[in-house]
Amino acid sequence: MTQYSNHTNLPLAIATWLAHDTYDREAAGLSATSLMRPTRQLILAKRVPPGEGIVDISGLIKSSIGSAVHDAIEQAWLSNMLPTTLSSLGISDKVIKRILVNPTSLPDGKPVIPVYLEKRSSREVLGVKITGKFDFIADGRVHDFKTTSTFAYTSSNKDDDYILQGSIYRWLNPDIITDDIMSIIFIFNDWNKNRYMSDRDKYPPSQITTKDYVLLPEAAVQSFVENKVNELLKYADAKEVDLPLCTDKELWRKDDTFKYYKNPASVGRSTKNFEVYGEAMERFVEDGSVGRIDTAKGGVQACLYCPAFNMCTQKDALIEAGELKL
C-alpha cells in the first residue's frame, strides 16, 4: 500500500479524494503507458524498498483532476439518461437508437454506432502480458482525453507520445479500433480567451479543443513493443550502473541556451541570451568578433517526478553538473 505525506496541509476532505486509488494494477500488467516510460525508471521503481517511496499528496492533484474528468465522461455515457442528454444536444432519435454503448457483439445487418469506454484489453508478447485501457471509442475511432496546459498543444512536444499511445491501443483492439486516425480531446486548465485573440494561428481556439493524429502501422507498433519487452527482460537483474541511461527526451530536457558576452572577460550577466546558436554568432560578428559565446546546457525536469529518484545515480550526475535543480 502506498504511503502519503501531506506537507502542504491539504484539507482532509481533499487529501482523502487524492489518496483514493482505484487503479487496477493487478489487471494492468505492463500497460501501454508503462511501455512508454524509460527502461531505467521501470526497473529501478520495482527495487524501491517498501516505505521509501512516500509520495506527497499534493503531487497527485493534476492526475486526480484528470481521472475525475474521465470518470464523469464515463458516467454520462453509461447513464440511463443518455438518450435524453443526446436529444438535448440536438441528436435525432434515429441516430440515438443506433448508438450501442459497450456492446459485447454487434447485430448483423443493422446500421449501428458502437461506443466503448474505459475497456482494458491485453496481448502477450514474449511471455509478458501487455495491456491498455483506452478512454473512448466511437464508430471505430479512438479518442483520448487530456487534461493539460495549452503548452502541450502549442509546443506539440508530446505529439509522438500521443501517437504511440493511440497506436498501442489499436494494436490491442484491432477489432473495434478500425480508423487510422485518433483524436486527442484537450481539456485545458489554463486557457485564456485574450491569448487566443492575440495568437489565433497557434493558440487553441477554445478550452476544449480536438486535434487528430495519424496512427502508426501495426508492424511498427509490434516492433516497438517487442524491443521494449526484450530490453526490460535483458536488464531486469542488471546492476543500477549498467542500466541504460534516460535520454534527453525522457529527461524532459529543455533546449540549450547560448549566452553571448560582448566583453569576453565578463563573468557576470550575459549581454544577451539566444535560443539558436546561429543568431548568437551573428551578434558576435556584428560586435567585431571579440566577444564570447557560452553554451548553457538545458536543464532536466523528469527526475523530480521519478519514483526511483533515490536509487538513481544518473540523477546524481545531473545534479552535480547543475542540469537538475532541486
**Domains, the chain:** 31-38+60-235 (3.90.320), 240-320 (no CATH)
Question: Residue 120 in contact with residue 28, Cβ under 8 Å?
Answer: yes
DSSP, collapsed to helix, strand or coil, labels residue 114 as: strand
Long-range contact set of residues 198-205: C-beta below 8 Å, sequence gap at least 24:
202/154, 203/150, 203/154, 204/150, 204/153, 204/154
How many CB atoms lie under 10 A from the CB of residue 218? 12
Find the angle CA(153)-CA(158)-CA(161) to the nearest 5 degrees.
140
Measured in Å, how far apart are the chain's first and last C-alpha atoms?
27
Q: Are 40 and 312 in contact (CB under 8 A)?
A: yes
Average pLDDT by stretches of 10, the chain with 326 residues: 86 94 68 94 91 80 94 96 97 96 90 94 94 96 97 93 97 97 97 95 96 97 97 96 96 92 89 92 93 90 90 95 90
Pairing of β 136-138 and β 113-117: antiparallel
Instruction: Determine the pLDDT at residue 25.
Output: 60
Starting from the edge strand earliest in sequence, which strands make up the sheet with 181-188, in order? 99-101, 113-117, 136-138, 141-148, 181-188, 208-214
Count Cβ neighbours within 10 Å for each residue of 171-201 and write b for 16 or more, e otherwise. Answer: bbbeebbeeeebbbbbbbeebeeeebeeeee
CA nearest to 32, candidates 170, 206, 157:
170
Specify whether the CB–CB gap between 149 and 189 falls below 8 A. yes
- The closest of 152, 156, 146, 157 to 249, measured between CA atoms, is 157
For cell 539558436, name the residue.
276
- Residue 28 pLDDT: 57
Q: What is the DSSP letter of 246?
A: P
Q: Which long-range contacts (CB under 8 A, 24 or more apart) does 200-209 make?
A: 202/154, 203/150, 203/154, 204/150, 204/153, 204/154, 209/153, 209/185
- Which residues are registered as beta bridge partners of 120? 133
Is residue 275 a contact partner of residue 258, using CB atoms and an 8 Å limit?
Answer: yes
pTM for the full model? 0.87
pLDDT tens digits for 199-244?
999 999 999 999 999 999 999 999 999 999 999 999 999 999 999 9
pLDDT of amino acid 110:
85
**Residue 170 confidence (pLDDT):** 97
Residue 148 phi, psi (nearest 5): -155, -175
Q: What integer pLDDT is reported at residue 26 of this predicted model?
A: 56
| Local structure of residue 243 (DSSP, 8 states) | S
